[in-house]
Amino acid sequence: MKKLSELSRSIDNKIALITGATSGMGLATAKLFSDQGAQVIVTDLNEDKINEVVKEISSYGKKCYGIKLDVTNLDEIKSAVAETVKLFGGIDILINNAGISIPTLINDENYEEYWDKTFNVLLKAQVQLIREALPFIQKSESGRIVNISSTEGLGATPRQSPYTSAKHGVIGLTKSLAVELGSSGITVNCICPGPIRTGMTEKIPEEDKKLYAKRRVPLKRYGEPEEVAQATLNFCLPSSSFINGAVLPVDGGLTIKRA
């Protein structure tokens, strides 16, 4: 059909590597991107879970492949990138999603251990994945990197200082690389999810979730993983070619609410 506009809103056949893709927002992103025709590389810690996800997505006739990847292990990062390139011929899209949360007070005796663990998964891993995947993303016609931060990257909650600091760091990393890599045509953007129903929040009792959402979220509810995945997809479209260094809250209005 003849079109009046020029830019494509399709990620059909794009090669997308997603970390932490067997649960929550990573899983929703893998499913959504598969629905949109992308060739999705599902990576995560647990091989059985990876196989389950790949089986489910493949049963819908989608192109999908699983690789075991602990994002804190540089050797595994290197081999996941190499395997992806060997199998698919390149990488167009990197979604840095994997995450953990270890609530702790600043004077906890294990604080330094929690700090290191948190920073290794949330921030250092994003840097290392970008460094390894970059030579290939640079060859893409529409290279896209999306880093998952949090509303904790924009504000702060008590007992979360390692998480909050790392998520602020994700925003700094995103802005810095958006500027540094802009000349190569790659875009680097960042999503800040608010409270979302995922593995990370499943232990919070339903009553507490309701109370929190009523008090803090203008939409009065937790978000669903797919609602974040859809925002991530928007950054990855070829048509989003001039969106770079953006920090997008997907939080039902939590961040802007004052009273």
Nearest residue (CB) to ligand NAI, 162 versus 195: 195
In the chain, alpha helices (H): 24-35, 47-58, 74-88, 111-119, 125-137, 161-181, 206-216, 225-236
Partners of 40 in the β-ladder: 16, 64
Q: Which residues contact 37 (CB under 8 A, 6 or more apart)?
A: 10, 11, 12, 13, 14, 62
The residue written with tokens 């990138």 in the block is 81
- The residue from 65, 114, 163, 222 that is catalytic is 163
Nearest residue (CB) to ligand NAI, 8 versus 116: 116
Decide if 248 contacts 231 (C-beta within 8 A). yes
Binding footprint of ligand NAI on the chain (CB under 6 A): 19-20, 22-26, 44-45, 69-72, 97-100, 121, 148, 150, 193, 195-196, 198-201
- The token duo for 15 is 């090669």
Nearest residue (CB) to ligand NAI, 142 versus 167: 167
Q: Which residues contact 116 (CB under 8 A, 6 or more apart)?
A: none
- Is 163 known to be catalytic? yes
d(CA 193, CA 254): 10
Decide if 67 contacts 44 (C-beta within 8 A). no
Nearest residue (CB) to ligand NAI, 15 versus 229: 229
| Residues labelled as active-site residues | 163
